[in-house]
């Protein structure tokens, strides 16, 4: 028997205090029935004797202290999952909003999931070809990786994410078992619609599960939205054996919602007012990506976040970078020069790349050329800077070649547009073509046999 209480003592959105409760447990799901029959949900944040502090997931507007009824449901917030979720659209709390029928759940799952046993993880090492040179060639993505896009306001991260979702495939693998789980967290209708249209255009919509919490939806709901999406993704990946790509956008909105709740709880704030447990909280989401022993499916995650003031040391990108396996950073300077996608190659990184490249995966020369391209581009950029201070005359002929290399690299390698889908062969060959600008003696990071085999022969 579930008891109903009419003992709400206090509401300071999003927190609610209920008195004289019995047998309430921590983290339990709470339903509040409004006088007009509407239902609001929340969870128990703290229980002290006969007082329960409840955090509402939804707006507190309309709750009447005397007349609203509170029920404690005895289980945490759950999502009913099913294979039929593919092709459907849900709100941030997991309720279908596409006018279709309710989902007949095959299973109910706690949206917080359970930590993955590190001993049960399978190391991600399958190369995913995204068709984007700056990612495939230099910051290779592998199945089961979590690779965020660090962007700024007004930068085209959505186009890049859509391009990845559209083009990503594993070489020699059938694409049939592929699904996209997309969580819109506090983004605008237009941005969300861009993704929906994009999935529709490419026919991916039937293989996509969308969770949308838009900018005008209650901020507290945002804390649940990515967890709903990940619960669905885990089900599809580890029960239905699918390869799931999860796109979470925008993590900055999520973290701000978390800060809002933390402030309401009067917790000691950490850096920039974000709670001290922001790292742990983000980690419990990001770490749900991965592969497991004995399971064919996988979760690859691309969280998108906009860095406030393009500042990489802001707590949100900073803590994200400490958890995720690399980052793709977009550069405003490149974007202004009309280079698209404006991936800032040097600070971008994929930590798992070394396990996903090389003979049998991409090509034997991949690791060597990758290092050489990085080093050459970095030197070239330094030289260009020097050139702008001292003029061309101050540079040696070799230095000038490096400067030329940097320009060509940005123009041809980085600037590929959002429609071109390059195979890994094309990307690697383009790298060699660019390296041929430099004297062969400068290619110290490449084994001689690869130089003999792959370096385009100069004419004459």
Can you tell me whether residue 280 is helix, strand or coil?
A: helix
Binding mask 301-320 for other proteins (x = CB under 8 A): -----------xxxx--xx-
H helix intervals, 202-250: 225-238
Residues in 59-118 at the binding interface with other proteins, rule: CB under 8 A: 76, 110, 112-118
The count of other CB atoms within 10 Å of the CB of residue 203 is: 9
Q: Which of 182, 238, 335, 432 binds other proteins (CB under 8 A)?
A: 238
Angle (CA) 141-142-146 rounded to 5° is 75
Angle (CA) 141-144-148 rounded to 5° is 55
User: Which of these ranges, 23-31, 59-67, 166-174, 204-212, lies near other proteins under the rule CB under 8 A?
Assistant: 23-31
- Min separation Cβ 391 and other proteins, Å: 9
The count of other CB atoms within 10 Å of the CB of residue 273 is: 12
Phi, psi at 387, each rounded to 5°: -60, -40
- Our CB check for other proteins shows the closer of 88 and 291 to be 291
Q: Name which of 360, 439, 430, 441 is nearest 133 in CA terms.
A: 430
The half-sphere exposure of 306 on its side-chain side, counting CA atoms within 13 A, is 18
- Min separation Cβ 428 and other proteins, Å: 18
Quick check: 276 binds other proteins (CB under 8 A)?
Answer: yes
Q: Which of 6, 10, 12, 25 binds other proteins (CB under 8 A)?
A: 25
Residues in 365-404 at the binding interface with other proteins, rule: CB under 8 A: 367, 371, 374-375, 378, 386, 389-390, 393-396
Residues in 119-178 at the binding interface with other proteins, rule: CB under 8 A: 119-124, 144
Quick check: 333 binds other proteins (CB under 8 A)?
Answer: no
- Min separation Cβ 194 and other proteins, Å: 29
Residues in 397-456 at the binding interface with other proteins, rule: CB under 8 A: 441, 444
Quick check: 45 binds other proteins (CB under 8 A)?
Answer: yes
Can you tell me whether residue 55 is helix, strand or coil?
A: strand
| Cα→Cα distances 370→271, 312, 345, 445, Å | 36, 24, 11, 9
User: Which of these ranges, 80-88, 97-105, 276-284, 402-410, lies near other proteins under the rule CB under 8 A?
Assistant: 276-284
What crossing angle do the helices spanning 424-435 and 366-390 adopt, rounded to 10°? 40
User: Which of these ranges, 30-38, 46-54, 210-218, 245-253, lies near other proteins under the rule CB under 8 A?
Assistant: 46-54
| Contact yes or no for 303/286 (Cβ under 8 A) | yes
| Contact yes or no for 361/439 (Cβ under 8 A) | no
Phi, psi at 158, each rounded to 5°: -65, -40
- Our CB check for other proteins shows the closer of 222 and 353 to be 353
User: Which of these ranges, 196-204, 243-251, 322-330, 412-420, lies near other proteins under the rule CB under 8 A?
Assistant: 322-330
Q: Which of 11, 184, 334, 352 binds other proteins (CB under 8 A)?
A: 352
User: Which of these ranges, 1-9, 44-52, 252-260, 416-424, lies near other proteins under the rule CB under 8 A?
Assistant: 44-52
Phi, psi at 291, each rounded to 5°: -125, 155
- Spatial distance between the Cα atoms of 130 and 168, rounded to a whole number of angstroms: 4
- Our CB check for other proteins shows the closer of 278 and 428 to be 278
- Our CB check for other proteins shows the closer of 195 and 450 to be 450
Quick check: 267 binds other proteins (CB under 8 A)?
Answer: yes
């Amino acid at each position: 028997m579930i008891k109903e209480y009419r003992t709400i003592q206090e509401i300071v959105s999003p927190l609610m205090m209920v008195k004289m409760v019995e047998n309430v447990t921590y983290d339990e799901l709470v339903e509040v029935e409004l006088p007009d029959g509407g239902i609001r949900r929340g969870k128990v944040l703290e229980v002290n004797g006969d007082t329960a502090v409840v955090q509402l997931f939804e707006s507190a507007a309309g709750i009447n202290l005397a007349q609203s009824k509170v029920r404690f449901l005895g289980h945490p917030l759950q999502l009913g999952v099913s294979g039929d979720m593919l092709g459907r659209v849900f709100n941030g709390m997991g309720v279908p909003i596409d006018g279709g029928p309710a989902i007949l759940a095959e299973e109910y799952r706690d949206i917080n999931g359970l930590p993955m046993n590190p001993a049960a993880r399978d190391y991600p090492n399958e190369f995913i070809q995204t068709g984007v040179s700056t990612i495939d060639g230099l910051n290779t993505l592998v199945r089961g990786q979590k690779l965020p896009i660090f962007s700024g306001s007004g930068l085209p991260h959505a186009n890049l994410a859509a391009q990845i979702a559209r083009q990503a495939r594993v070489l020699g693998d059938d694409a049939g078992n592929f699904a996209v789980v997309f969580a819109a967290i506090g983004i605008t209708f237009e941005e969300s619609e861009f993704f929906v249209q994009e999935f529709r255009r490419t026919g991916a919509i039937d293989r996509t599960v969308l969770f949308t919490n838009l900018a005008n939806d209650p901020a507290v709901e945002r804390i649940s939205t990515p967890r709903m999406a990940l619960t669905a993704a885990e089900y599809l990946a580890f029960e239905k054996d699918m390869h799931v790509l999860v796109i979470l956008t925008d993590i900055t909105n999520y973290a701000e919602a978390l800060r809002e709740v933390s402030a309401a709880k009067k917790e000691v704030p950490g850096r920039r007012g974000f709670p001290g447990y922001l790292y742990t909280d983000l980690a419990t989401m990001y770490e749900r990506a991965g592969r497991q022993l004995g399971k064919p499916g996988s979760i690859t995650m691309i969280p998108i976040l906009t860095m406030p003031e393009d500042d990489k040391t802001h707590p949100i990108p900073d803590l994200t970078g400490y958890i995720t396996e690399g980052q793709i950073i977009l550069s405003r300077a490149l974007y202004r020069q009309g280079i698209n996608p404006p991936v800032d190659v040097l600070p971008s990184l994929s930590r798992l790349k070394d396990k996903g490249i090389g003979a049998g995966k991409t090509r034997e020369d991949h690791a060597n050329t990758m290092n050489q391209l990085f080093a050459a581009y970095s030197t070239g950029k330094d030289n260009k800077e020097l050139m702008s201070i001292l003029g061309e005359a101050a540079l040696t002929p070799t230095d000038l070649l490096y400067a030329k290399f940097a320009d060509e690299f940005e123009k041809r390698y980085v600037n590929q547009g959002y429609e071109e889908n390059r195979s890994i062969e094309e990307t690697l060959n383009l790298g060699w073509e660019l390296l041929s600008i430099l004297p062969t003696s400068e290619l110290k990071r490449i084994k001689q046999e690869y130089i003999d085999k792959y370096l385009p022969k100069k004419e004459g």
